[in-house]
Amino acid sequence: MAVLTENELIEIRRHLHQNPELALKEFDTHRYLLEVIGKLNQKYLELKTIPELPTALLVRVIGSEPTKTIGYRTDIDALPVTEQTGLAYASKNPGVMHACGHDLHMTVALGILSYYSEYQPLDNLIFFFQPAEESENGGKLAYEQKVFTDKWRPDEIYALHVTPDLQAGTIGCRLGTLFAGTTEVNIDLIGKGGHAAYPQEANDMVVAAAQLINQIQTIVSRSINPIEGGVITIGRMSAGTIRNVIAGKAHLEGTIRGLTQKMILKIDERIKQVAAGIATSFNAEVKVELNQGGYLPVENDPILTEQFINYVSKNPDLNYVETEPAMTGEDFGYLLSKIPGTMCWLGVEDDSQLHSAAFTPKEAAIKAGVEAFIGFFNNRMEQKRRTK
Q: What is the pLDDT of residues 79-130, one digit of tens each?
A: 999 999 999 999 999 999 999 999 999 999 999 999 999 999 999 999 999 9
Does residue 136 sit in the same domain as residue 13? yes
Q: At which of 269, 291, 313 does a domain end?
A: 291
- Please say if the pLDDT value at position 385 is more than 70: no
Is position 75 annotated as part of the catalytic site? yes
Percent of the chain scoring above 90 in pLDDT: 96
Catalytic one among 75, 123, 330, 350? 75
Residue 386's pLDDT is 65
Could you list the residue range(s) of the whole structural domain that residue 210 is in? 181-291
Q: Give whole-number Cα distances, 12 to 32, 53, 54, 82, 350, in Å.
A: 9, 24, 22, 21, 20
Does residue 268 sit in the same domain as residue 313? no
- Assess if residue 1 is contained within a domain: no
- What is the domain-level CATH number for residue 194? 3.30.70.360
Q: Is 105 annotated as a binding residue?
A: no
- Assess if residue 257 is contained within a domain: yes
Does residue 173 sit in the same domain as residue 196? no
Q: At which of 253, 275, 291 does a domain end?
A: 291
Catalytic one among 77, 83, 103, 134? 134
Q: Give whole-number Cα distances, 24 to 51, 52, 94, 315, in Å.
A: 12, 11, 17, 38
**Of 18, 22, 172, which Cα lies nearest the Cα of 107?**
18
Q: What is the pLDDT of residues 329-356, one digit of tens each?
A: 999 999 999 999 999 999 999 999 999 9
Q: Is 134 annotated as a binding residue?
A: yes
Q: What is the pLDDT of residues 218-255, one digit of tens each?
A: 999 999 988 887 999 999 999 999 999 999 999 999 99
- Assess if residue 185 is contained within a domain: yes
- Assess if residue 128 is contained within a domain: yes
Computed from CA positions of residues 22, 24, 25, 31, in that sequence, does the dihedral angle turn out positive or negative? Answer: positive
- What is the domain-level CATH number for residue 323? 3.40.630.10
Residue 81's pLDDT is 98
Does residue 153 sit in the same domain as residue 225? no
Q: Is 173 annotated as a binding residue?
A: no
Is position 134 annotated as part of the catalytic site? yes
**Rounded distance between C-alpha atoms, residue 340 and residue 337, angstroms:** 7
Does residue 116 sit in the same domain as residue 13? yes
Does residue 157 sit in the same domain as residue 207? no
- Assess if residue 122 is contained within a domain: yes
Q: At which of 271, 291, 311 does a domain end?
A: 291
Q: Helices 102-118 and 27-38, interaxial angle, to 10°? A: 20
Does residue 208 sit in the same domain as residue 129? no
Number of domains the chain is built from: 2
**Residues 163, 358: contact at Cβ < 8 Å?**
no
